[in-house]
Amino acid sequence: MVSPYDLSVPGGVQGQVTGLTAALRTLGHDVVVLAPGRPGSEDAAGVRRLGRAFGVRANGSVAPVTLSPWAAVRAGAAVRDPGIDVVHIHEPLAPVLPYGCLVASRHPIVGTFHRNGSSPLYRAMAPAVRWVARRLAARCAVSESARDNVAPTSRAEFEVLFNGIDIDRYAHAAPAAKTGPTVLFVGRHEQRKGLGVLLEAWTRVETPATLWIVGEGPETDELRGRFAASAHLEWLGAISEGEKAARLAAADVFCAPSVGGESFGVVLLEAMAARCALLASDIDGYRAAAGTHARLVPPGDSGALAVAIDEMLGDAAAGAGRSGVDALDAAFRHAERWSMQRLAMRYVEIYERVLADPPARATPGPQVA
DSSP per-residue string spanning 274-318: TT-EEEEE--HHHHHHHTTSSEEE-TT-HHHHHHHHHHHHHHHHH
Residues 299/259, Cβ–Cβ less than 8 Å: yes
pLDDT given for residue 338 in this prediction: 93
Q: Convert the pLDDT of each residue in 44-62 to its tens digit.
A: 778 999 999 988 876 667 7
Rounded mean pLDDT, 56-74? 85
Q: Are 12-164+340-360 and 167-336 in the same CATH fold? A: yes
User: In the predicted model, is pLDDT for residue 368 greater than 60?
Assistant: no
pLDDT > 70: what percent of the chain?
92
For residue 147, count CB atoms less than 10 angstroms from its CB and return exposed for 0-12, middle for 13-18, buried for 19 or more. Answer: buried
Rounded mean pLDDT, 16-32? 96
pLDDT given for residue 288 in this prediction: 85
pLDDT given for residue 358 in this prediction: 60
Nearest Cα neighbor of 292 from 321, 334, 324, 329 is 334
Contacting residues for 237 by C-beta, under 8 A, at least 6 apart: 214, 215, 216
Residues 357/94, Cβ–Cβ less than 8 Å: no
User: In the predicted model, is pLDDT for residue 367 greater than 60?
Assistant: no
pLDDT given for residue 307 in this prediction: 98
Of 94-103, 141-150, 232-241, least confident by mean pLDDT is: 141-150
Per CATH, the number for 12-164+340-360 is 3.40.50.2000
User: In the predicted model, is pLDDT for residue 360 greater than 50?
Assistant: no
Q: Convert the pLDDT of each residue in 290-328 to its tens digit.
A: 999 999 999 999 999 999 999 999 988 776 555 678 899
Residue 361's pLDDT band (cuts 50, 70, 90):
very low
- What is the rounded (10 degree) CA torsion for 191, 221, 183, 283? 0
User: In the predicted model, is pLDDT for residue 369 greater than 50?
Assistant: no
DSSP per-residue string spanning 127-153: HHHHHHHHH-SEEEESSHHHHHHHHHH
User: In the predicted model, is pLDDT for residue 147 greater than 70?
Assistant: yes
Per CATH, the number for 167-336 is 3.40.50.2000
Residue 25's pLDDT band (cuts 50, 70, 90):
very high
pTM of the model: 0.80
pLDDT given for residue 122 in this prediction: 77
pLDDT given for residue 60 in this prediction: 61
User: In the predicted model, is pLDDT for residue 81 greater than 50?
Assistant: yes
The domain limits of the chain are 12-164+340-360, 167-336
Nearest Cα neighbor of 167 from 16, 340, 329 is 340
Average pLDDT, the chain: 91
User: In the predicted model, is pLDDT for residue 364 greater than 50?
Assistant: no
Q: Convert the pLDDT of each residue in 188-215 to its tens digit.
A: 999 999 999 999 999 999 999 999 999 9
